[in-house]
A = this chain, B = another copy of it.
Amino acid sequence: MRPIAQPHHHAGHSGHTGHPGHTGRRPGDSGAHDAILLAARLEFGESGYDGATIRAIAARAVVDPALVHHYFGSKEQLFEAAVELSVSPAAFLPAILAGDRERLGEQIVERFLTVWEEPHNRPVFMAMLRSVISNEQAADLVRRLLVKEVFGSLAVALGVPDAELRATLAGSQFIGLALIRYVGRVEPLASADVGTVAVAVGPTIQRYLTGEIG
C-alpha cells in the first residue's frame, strides 16, 4: 500500500458553503458517486483488492475511469469508502449476552448469517474477506478487529479461561463458514437455510466459547 493521499475531490479551495454537500445528493443529480461506490463493492467483492481494477469498476458504473479518481482520489481510498461498515459487530454483544446462555452459540451463528445474508452488506463482507487474504497489510486490520475485539471481548465477558484461544477457535469456524458458504458457494452448505446452519454450527461455537476445550 502506498501512503494515503488526499483526494482533490469536487470541492474548491474553501469547501461547499451554501449548498448541500456531496453526500447529501440533491435531486436531479445523476448519482454517479453512489453508482461508483456500489460498483466498487461488487468488484472488490468478486475479485479482491488487487484483482479489482479501477477500469472495471468504472465500466460497471458506466462511467469514465477518471471520474472514479476525481471522486475518490485513489484506489485505496475508494476501497476504504467501499468497505465502510454499516453494522457494528460489537453492537450485538449486549443483546446476545442477555439471552439464554445455553443457546448463545446458536444465536451468534444466526446473527452472523443473517447479517451476511442481507444483500446490502454482503458485497462489503465479501470484499473484506477476499482482500484480507490477498493483501497482507489489510489482514492486520480485520485480524484485530474481528477476532480480538469482537470474539475476544465476548470470551472475556463470559468469564472463561483461555479467552484468546477460545476467541480464535470461534473465529476460525466463522471465517471458514463464510468462505465455504458465500465465497466458494459449496453445496449443500451454501443453500441451507439460516436456521439449519445455526443449529448445526451453534454447538461448535458454544463449546469453543464456554465449554471444555482442553
Q: Which residues of A contact B (CB under 8 A)?
A: 46-48, 50-51, 130, 132-134, 136, 139, 143, 147, 164-165, 168-169, 171-177, 179-181, 183-184, 186-189, 192, 196, 199-201, 203-204, 207-208, 213-214
Contacts and interface: CB of A to CB of B under 8 A. Distances in A.
Contacts of A132: 184
Number of copies: 2
Main secondary structure of the interface of A (DSSP, over half): helix
Contacts of A168: 180, 186-189
Given A134-B51, A172-B181, A177-B176, A214 B196 contact: yes
Contact of A171 (B50, B180, B183): B180
A182 to B, nearest CB: 11
A3 to B, nearest CB: 20
A200 B168 CA distance: 11
B201 A188 contact: no
A183 B133 contact: yes
Given A134-B130, A189-B165, A213-B199, A179 B175 contact: yes
B134 A186 contact: no
Contacts of A204: 173, 204, 207-208
Contacts of A208: 200, 204
A96 to B, nearest CB: 21
Contacts of A143: 184, 186
A154 to B, nearest CB: 16
A52 to B, nearest CB: 11
Given A50-B134, A51-B50, A134-B51, A179 B172 contact: yes
A189 B207 contact: no
14 contacts: A46-B136, A48-B133, A133-B134, A133-B179, A143-B184, A147-B180, A164-B188, A165-B188, A168-B187, A168-B189, A172-B180, A173-B173, A204-B204, A204-B208
